[in-house]
């Protein structure tokens, strides 16, 4: 059963095209079920970076037509079409985050799972998606591809963890109620930190952001006092001068009894006096420092990607072998039925000669003949599966030819092997 992938992604299509073919969960599921049926399987993976249709035993042109219908325009220049092994390898790479804008990003694994759950999956897509999820998880656990931060706010949170360990219950003070500070605050909060205060020159915006983050608003004048109790300070105001001075931090350090203070200055021009970083127990990172951490981290992810590629390739090879072994399954089923038919026919012929046997003896003869048939077939069947995995459908045809089998399991005339 042929596996086909038709899709577009950030590598070929600009955002204007991608947003045309992007599907929400409901629409993706509906499209998958429309493409499936009559022994066909389909799943649709749609994220902000890609929309891909995986179909089994379906028509490639039909899938393209569906995509173009969704997009409302011809998509030929932006589409890629892959079959069988290449399609499987592609999905495995996608699940491992190797095809993402940021290598190893974690969100894609959940999106692949969602596509699998919403799809119309039969045996092939079921195996394909489960293998892809396995490959994605394995790439992340056996390499460090997904470990290091890929954004400034994630880098700030990771550095805070480098100082404090777990952030559960750590008090965060947000200075400035802008979008940048909010992103950093959300990242810290997602790791267990407690956003205690939001300080801003405009009280309204402080109240609004504080409400969103479940914290308390604070006037800018209150920052110096709260420095004493905060563990992490994130500052991102639009002020022209320093909002957090060395003097203010120095005074709070004396009262902190050696507890570390981590300051993240996301503002340009900077909010925190740079010499604050020299104070004992104080760690100060500005936007340039954090961007350097992100750059280093992305370089590390690219290095780890090479190891993840090897993992993904091994998983894709395993899937290819399984898929190839499927081609021989109908022939094996036919062979078993053929052998069973011969066995029962021969037993029926011998009925007259076995008339004197008791019921128990008849069962013994029945079991004995079954065992003989099974033992005779076991070796060839195992080897046919192995050979099919490595060399394709030729062995299935050979089995049909040698035993005179039809695809539906009945005796038939020997078929000619390809090339005869």
Partner 1 sequence: MVDLLFWPALLAYGEAAVAYAGNVRYPGLGRFAIWGVRAGWLVQTALLVVQAYRADGFPWDTWAGSLNLFVWLVVGGYLVWGCRPRYRLLGLAVMPFAAVLLGASYLGGGADADGSDHFSTAFLLLHVGLVLAAFAALTLAAALGGIYLWEERALKLRRPGLLRLRAPSLLTLELLGWRTVVVALPLLTLGMVAGFAHGASIDPQIVVTLVVWALYVGFLVVRPRGRRAALLQVAGFALVLTAPLGLLLTHLS
| Closest to 404 in 3D by CA, of 341, 311, 312 | 341
Integer Cα distance of 304 and 108 in angstroms: 17
CA atoms within 13 A on the CB side of 386: 6
Q: Is 4 left (phi over 0), alpha (psi -120 to 50) or beta?
A: beta
| 126 vs 383: CA distance, rounded Å | 25
Longest CA–CA span in the chain (Å) reads: 110
How many whole angstroms separate alpha carbon 395 and alpha carbon 406? 15
DSSP string, 292-354: HHHHHHHHHHHHHHHHHHHHHHHHHHHHHHHHHHHTTHHHHHHHHHHHHHHHHHHHHHTTTTT
- Is there binding between residue 216 and partner 1 (CB under 8 A)? no
Which position among 260, 380, 394, 404 is part of the footprint of partner 1 (CB under 8 A)? 260
Query: Of 222 and 281, which CB lies nearer to partner 1 in the complex structure?
Result: 281
Residue 324 Cα distances to 70, 130, 319, 344, 387, angstroms: 33, 17, 9, 32, 9
Give the one residue of 208, 228, 289, 321 binding partner 1; rule: CB under 8 A. Answer: 289
Q: Which of 16, 240, 257, 348 binds partner 1 (CB under 8 A)?
A: 257
Cβ neighbours of residue 110 closer than 8 Å, sequence gap 6 or more:
none
* Cβ distance to partner 1 smaller for residue 52 or 304: 304
296 binds partner 1 (CB under 8 A): yes
- For 183, phi then psi, to 5°, come to -60, -45
Contact window for partner 1 (CB under 8 A) among 39-47, 89-97, 280-288, 366-374? 280-288
In which element (H, E) is residue 234 found?
strand 232-235
Rg from Cα positions in the chain: 32
- What number of chain residues touch partner 1 (CB under 8 A)? 29
Q: Is 106 in the site for partner 1 (CB under 8 A)?
A: no
CB of 48 to partner 1, least distance (A): 26
Of 107 and 296, the one with the shorter C-beta distance to partner 1 is 296
Region near partner 1 per CB under 8 A, out of 20-28, 122-130, 279-287, 310-318: 279-287
Does residue number 147 form part of the binding site for partner 1 (CB under 8 A)?
A: yes
Q: How far is the CB of 137 from partner 1 (least distance, A)?
A: 18
Contact 130, 264 (CB under 8 A): no
Q: Which of 233, 228, 282 is nearest to 255 (CA)?
A: 228
Sheet holding 171-175, edge to edge: 216-219, 194-200, 171-175, 232-235, 261-265, 282-286
Q: Is 136 in the site for partner 1 (CB under 8 A)?
A: no
**Nearest CB to partner 1, comparing residues 184 and 388:** 184
Give the residue from 274, 248, 400 showing the smallest Cα distance to 327. Answer: 400
Q: How far is the CB of 74 from partner 1 (least distance, A)?
A: 45
Residue (292 or 365) nearer to partner 1, CB: 292
Find the part of the chain contacting partner 1 (CB under 8 A) among 87-95, 121-129, 290-298, 412-420.
290-298
Q: Which of 33, 113, 189, 283 binds partner 1 (CB under 8 A)?
A: 283
Active site residues: 48
Residue 133 vs residues 8, 111, 130, 354: alpha-carbon distances, Å? 20, 10, 5, 57
Which of 296, 308, 284 is closest to 140 using CA atoms?
Answer: 308
Q: Whose Cβ is closer to partner 1: residue 131's or residue 297's?
A: 297
User: Using the rule CB under 8 A, is 281 a contact of partner 1?
Assistant: yes
Q: Which of 82, 155, 184, 234 binds partner 1 (CB under 8 A)?
A: 155
Based on the shown chain and the rule CB under 8 A, indicate whether residue 259 belongs to the binding site for partner 1.
Answer: yes
If the CB atoms of residues 289 and 337 are measured against partner 1, the closer one turns out to be 289
Q: By CB under 8 A, what part of segment 299-328 binds partner 1?
A: 300
Q: Any contact of residue 277 with partner 1 (CB under 8 A)?
A: yes
Among 292, 310, 372, 402, binds partner 1 (CB under 8 A): 292
Q: Does 297 bind partner 1 (CB under 8 A)?
A: yes
Q: How far is the CB of 141 from partner 1 (least distance, A)?
A: 12
Question: Residues interacting with partner 1, by CB under 8 A?
Answer: 144, 147-149, 155, 158-159, 161-165, 257-260, 277-278, 280-281, 283, 285, 289, 292-293, 295-297, 300
């Amino acid at each position: 059963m042929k596996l086909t992938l038709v899709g577009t992604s950030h590598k070929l299509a600009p955002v204007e095209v991608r947003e045309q073919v992007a599907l929400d969960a409901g629409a993706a599921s509906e499209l998958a079920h429309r493409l499936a049926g009559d022994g066909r399987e389909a799943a649709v993976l749609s994220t902000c970076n890609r929309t891909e249709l995986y179909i089994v035993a379906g028509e490639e042109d039909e899938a393209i037509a569906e995509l173009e219908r969704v997009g409302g325009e011809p998509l030929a220049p932006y589409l890629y079409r892959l079959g069988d092994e290449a399609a499987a390898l592609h999905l495995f790479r996608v699940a491992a985050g190797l095809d993402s804008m940021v290598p190893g990003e974690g969100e894609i694994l959940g999106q692949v799972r969602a596509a699998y759950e919403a799809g119309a999956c039969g045996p092939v897509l079921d195996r394909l998606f489960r293998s892809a999820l396995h490959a994605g998880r394995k790439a992340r656990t056996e390499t460090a591809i997904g470990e290091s931060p890929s954004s400034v706010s994630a880098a700030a949170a990771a550095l805070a963890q480098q100082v404090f360990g777990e952030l559960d219950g750590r008090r965060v003070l947000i200075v400035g109620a802008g979008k940048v500070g909010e992103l950093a605050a959300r990242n810290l909060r997602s790791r267990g930190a407690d956003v205690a205060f939001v300080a801003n020159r405009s009280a309204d915006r402080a109240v609004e952001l504080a409400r969103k983050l479940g914290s308390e608003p604070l006037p800018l004048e209150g920052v110096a006092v709260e420095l004493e109790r905060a563990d992490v300070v994130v500052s991102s105001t639009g002020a022209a001068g320093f909002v957090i001075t060395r003097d203010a931090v120095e005074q709070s350090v004396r009262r902190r009894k050696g507890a570390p203070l981590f300051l993240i200055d996301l503002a340009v021009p900077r909010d925190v006096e740079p010499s604050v970083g020299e104070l004992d127990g104080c760690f100060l990172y500005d936007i340039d420092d954090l961007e350097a951490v992100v750059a280093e981290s992305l370089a590390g992810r690219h290095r780890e990607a090479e190891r993840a590629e090897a993992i993904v390739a091994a998983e894709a090879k395993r899937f290819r072998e399984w898929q190839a072994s499927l081609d021989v399954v109908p022939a094996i089923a036919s062979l078993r039925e053929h052998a069973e038919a011969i066995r029962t026919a021969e037993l029926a012929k011998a009925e007259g000669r076995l008339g004197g046997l008791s019921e128990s003896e008849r069962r013994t003869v029945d079991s004995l003949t079954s065992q003989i048939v099974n033992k005779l077939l076991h070796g060839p069947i195992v080897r046919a599966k192995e050979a099919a995995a490595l060399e394709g459908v030729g062995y299935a045809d050979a089995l049909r030819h040698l035993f005179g089998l039809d695809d539906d399991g009945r005796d038939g005339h020997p078929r000619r092997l390809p090339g005869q």
